[in-house]
Each structure stands twice: as C-alpha cells, then as structure tokens.
Amino acid sequence: MFHATTILALKGKNKSVIGGDGQVTFGNTVLKGNAVKIRKLYNGSVLGGFAGSTADAFNLFDMFEKILEQKKGDLLKSAVEFSKEWRKDKYLRRLEAMMIVLNRENIFILSGTGDVVEPEDGQIASIGSGGNYAISAARALNKHTDMDEETLVKESLEIAADICIYTNRSIKIFTLEDNKQQ
C-alpha cells in the first residue's frame, strides 16, 4: 500500500472524473499539502492519477503519454503496451507505484508488475493509502444517491480524508465529458 496519496476515478454515465488529494508525506511528516497527483494526457482526452514517489510519477506519466501518442490515443492498447514496458525495465519495475488511467470508454489500474486491471464494475477505481476508504464511499454514494460525478468523487475523497492520515482535503478534480474536457 502506498502512503501519502489517495486517487479516485469514476467512469460515470455522463462524465469521467478523476480526483486526488494533495498531501505529500515523508515518513510521519507532511512535506506538502497541495501537490497535484492527477494529469490530463493525450490532448486532454485521457485522465491519469498516480500513487508513489513524485519523481517516479513524472517519469511514468511521460512514458505513458509517449505510448498514447504512438497508439493514437487508444487507451486499451496503450495500457497494455505501457505495462509491458514498465515490467521489462529493470529500474522502473522496482518502483512501488500504481496508476489509474481513464477516458470515456475505459478505466484501468496499472502497476509495475504488469497488471492492467479493469475494475469489476467497470466504473470506479482507487489507489493509494486512502483508496479503500474513497472507493467504499464512492460505491455507497453511487448506489444510494443521485450525485453528479464530480460531486461524488469530491465527497468520497473528503470522506477518505476524514479517516486516512495520509489523505488531506486539498482535492483536485479533472473531468471528461463526451469529447469535451473541463
């Protein structure tokens, strides 16, 4: 389990949304409270979030975006190719890191062990130390409320921040609508 972050993604009926908290910790010390751990990729048509060290995140996001370019934005093909490359690289495969990537059609959790996991429900995924809290909240809110996608992700991350000491309330959210971005 990766400390110091919580990333939650939702591929909803009307929008795809990713959100992340801003806390960066080193051991038991908060180094920064407003880091941005999510990105828009491939001209804003793909969203990504990262749990792990910041330097690793930059390298992996750059690598993933290059593969997205090569695959002309095909998220499934890019995720599979990226995981193969990540697993093959002696340095990168040692990283204790995970990513979530999504667009309007797909959502995947990626790891350095070669995992390309589509969530069982095909809709909600989370990573990081507060990920289990956030996904539990998101599933409950999704089932029992009619919240819009951004509100659901934000509320779920705030619930995680109430429980997880490695998650704070400095939440950033990115959204994709059908061929649009916000």
**Known catalytic residues?**
5
Say if residues 12 and 123 touch (Cβ distance below 8 Å): yes
List helix spans (H) across the chain.
Answer: 54-70, 75-88, 131-144, 149-163
**Structure token pair of residue 172:** 């950033």
Q: Residue 180, Cβ neighbours under 10 Å: how many?
A: 11
- What's the CA gap between 2 and 69, in Å, rounded? 29
Query: Facing residues of 93 across strands?
Result: none
The answer to whether 53 and 11 are in contact (CB under 8 A) is no
Q: Are 129 and 3 in contact (CB under 8 A)?
A: yes
The CA distance from 54 to 51, in Å, is 9
- Residue among 102, 96, 110, 89 at smallest CA distance from 56: 96
